[in-house]
Amino acid sequence: MPSRSSTRVVLQAVQDLHAQEQIVTRETLAEFTGLKLAIVDDRLKALIDDMMVIRVNKGVFVPADQHPPARPMTKSLLPDGTVNIEIGDHVLILTPKEDRMLASLQASVMMQTASIELGHQAAQANGELNARMNRLERLLVRMGEGK
């Protein structure tokens, strides 16, 4: 039973992190779930074998069941103040008040999107900083060997 429980925990973590547009790695999963890396690795292997998780890159995972591709969207502001929102083949015609109400409903999603982007930028900066530190450490080791 513990194996099944940890499998569900890892799968849910993969889905949650992916839904938040976070990069899902075994290390991220271990930190997120509190499980040991060996357990995370074992559960990821089982989830991949069961086709519930996909390895998209070395060490990067996504849930197998994903939403269909996003449809094209446009928002047009018309001279009379109404707003047309087109999502795929669907068109919404909103009054100015309805547009403001929809915007307030979307505010939390906009905040989440900004947070996701900041997280991606921080991860990239951290990766670049780690690469520079590794190069510096190798250089210092080589300099120390030359003495």
| Domain shared by 77 and 134, yes or no | yes
- CA 141 from centre of chain: 37
Q: How many domains does the chain have?
A: 2
11: domain CATH number is: 1.10.10.10
68 is a domain residue: no
Cα–Cα distance list, 78 to 81, 82, 87, 96 (Å): 6, 5, 17, 10
Q: How many CB atoms lie within 10 A of CB 56?
A: 11
The answer to whether 49 and 11 are in contact (CB under 8 A) is no
77 is a domain residue: yes
- Residue 4: is its pLDDT beyond 70? no
| Domain shared by 40 and 81, yes or no | no
d(CA 75, CA 105): 16
d(CA 58, CA 65): 20
| Domain shared by 54 and 98, yes or no | no
For residue 89, give its domain range.
Answer: 73-143
The percentage of the chain sitting over the pLDDT mark of 70, rounded to a whole number, equals: 95
pLDDT of residue 57: 84
29 is a domain residue: yes
pLDDT digits (tens, 9 = 90+) for 77-132: 999 999 999 999 999 999 999 999 999 988 988 888 888 888 878 888 888 888 88
Q: Give the chain's length.
A: 147
- Residue 2: is its pLDDT beyond 50? no
Closest CA to 123 of 45, 20, 7: 20
β-partners of residue 62 are 54
109 is a domain residue: yes
Region at 21 (left for phi over 0; alpha for psi -120 to 50; beta for the rest): left
| Domain shared by 78 and 135, yes or no | yes
| Domain shared by 80 and 54, yes or no | no
| Domain shared by 45 and 100, yes or no | no
Q: What angle do CA 136, 31, 22 make, to 5 degrees?
A: 80
